[in-house]
Amino acid sequence: MTGLRKPTAESLAWRTTPGILGSHPASPESVHALLGYYLRDRTSPSPYPGRDMLLDGSLFDWGVAPPLEKVIHGPDELELLLSMPEVYRQGVHVVEPWENVGINLQGEGVRASKNVAYILQQIADADTILYPLWQSGVFNAKRLAHTTSAGIATVVQGGNPSAHAPETFAGSNASLDDILGFTDELLLRRSTDSGPAIFICLGHQLAACSQIRLLRRAVKEIYALRYLPLDQSGRALESLRNAAARIREMGDSLDVIKNGKMIARGWKDQRFAVAANEQVEVGTRQLLPYGSDSYAEHIPAELHDTHALIADELEGVIDTLMRSERALNIEMFHGDEVNEEAALFANWAFKLLHDTIVPLRYQIAVSPLAWLLSMPYAVEILSQTRVNEDHWTEVSTTCIYYKDWETHSIRRSFTCQFHPELMADIRDIGKRDGPRYAELKDNDGARLLVRLLYHGMQE
């Protein structure tokens, strides 16, 4: 639309009052309260009786009619959105890296972003704003990340392409590098005034790739820096370089091995963070706790020990949920996976950097390395699923932790390989009837999605 008349809320038929189900405008406080109401049991009635959505499938699509009218196709719509903080700060921002998350057994493209929007509207009257990057391109990664993180939450959706294969993004207006650039920025935006990010399927894999990219950037920039302000003796920079050297040495020497086959050699390999799963995993799976009594010999014990320390120190929500709820059944729909080696390495490297920076943070805060203060504190693997008798998806969920430098409070974002927003039929809302509140109330995937959002909003 650039060069033409700028769009307005009226010309785009955008609602400017949050919410659509209630008689009063929705707010972050009302959304949070209704998420808690939904989670407290599996039987209580809808807070909006008579408002279960009876959908005309032809209308329940993005950009067609409320509540899916807000789609950011480019800079003009983003500029309009930024002029309405009452809209973007009270919405859930959904990012699509691809036009669908895959083709189901019925031969349908599954646009699961509609399911996210439907679930959150039905449960808490939370509005959703869509960013179809495959259509719009990544026209300003920093601004997009700042905008989405200023809302209630950011959900990065799945898609058909592979995070380890740039050529699979052919035909999109956003390349793999473009989307990873946005993901890098989003991972650095989890601050005191941001909502959590929830990365699903391809989003989960993009987050893993970006973590390695950020660590490689950190090592490169630490080595390139000549001096730190307030560091007259040079001891602070020396400490940083020692940590960077350990990270580089570990990254260069750590290989990814599956079933005895070398998949990636070191952290510069395109497939270090993400590679093809041994078998495609489609269908309902039980979520199982991560961990095993026997560890692969090629993974240094130091990485497992650091992970065990983080697991003992922090709560990742999903791990607690598996202990307190009934068996959790979720829907898998993927052929690639995050490599266990990369996840353990990222956790170890983030914690090493954090612990090194703690006594140096004042020197770093006034240097070109100040962005390091926005890095995660740790990444915990929370669960795994069994693909078949011989293969596992070892990294089916993670929690990305951020520790506040001055208060030591923890903020969290989450990633999951599975699709908590999909029902067992793996269809998107519009092609299938929208589930009623009672069905959502008892659905494990929807409950997990809501719980991540509920806890993330508290931080």
Structure tokens at 448: 């997990």
Q: What is the pLDDT of residue 88?
A: 96
pLDDT at residue 298 greater than cutoff 80: yes
Residue 1 pLDDT > 50? no
User: Which DSSP helix (H) or strand (E) runs through 356?
Assistant: helix 340-357
Rounded Cα distance between 75 and 332, Å, is 34
Query: Are 148 and 95 contacting, i.e. CB atoms less than 8 angstroms apart?
Result: yes
Backbone angles phi, psi at 93, to 5 degrees: -100, 120
Q: What are phi and psi of 43, to 5 degrees?
A: -130, -15
> Tens digit of pLDDT for each residue in 19-48?
999 889 999 999 999 999 999 999 999 999
pLDDT tens per residue, range 234-283: 999 999 999 999 999 999 999 999 888 999 999 999 999 999 887 777 77
348-404 tens-digit pLDDT? 999 999 999 999 999 999 999 999 999 999 999 999 988 777 778 889 999 999 999
Instruction: Inform me whether the pLDDT recorded for 222 exceeds 90.
Output: yes
pLDDT tier for residue 3 given thresholds of 50, 70 and 90 = low
Average of per-residue pLDDT across 75-97: 97
CB 135 within 8 A of CB 173: yes
Distances from the Cα of 413 to the Cα of 35, 173, 211, 376, angstroms: 17, 27, 13, 10
Write the CATH number of the domain with boundaries 28-224+271-457.
Answer: 3.40.50.880
Phi, psi of 294 (to 5 degrees): -120, 125
Alpha carbon 12 to its chain's center: 29
Residue 47, pLDDT score: 93
Q: If residue 185 lies in a helix (H) or strand (E), which one and from where to where?
A: helix 176-187
Q: Rounded mean pLDDT of the chain?
A: 92
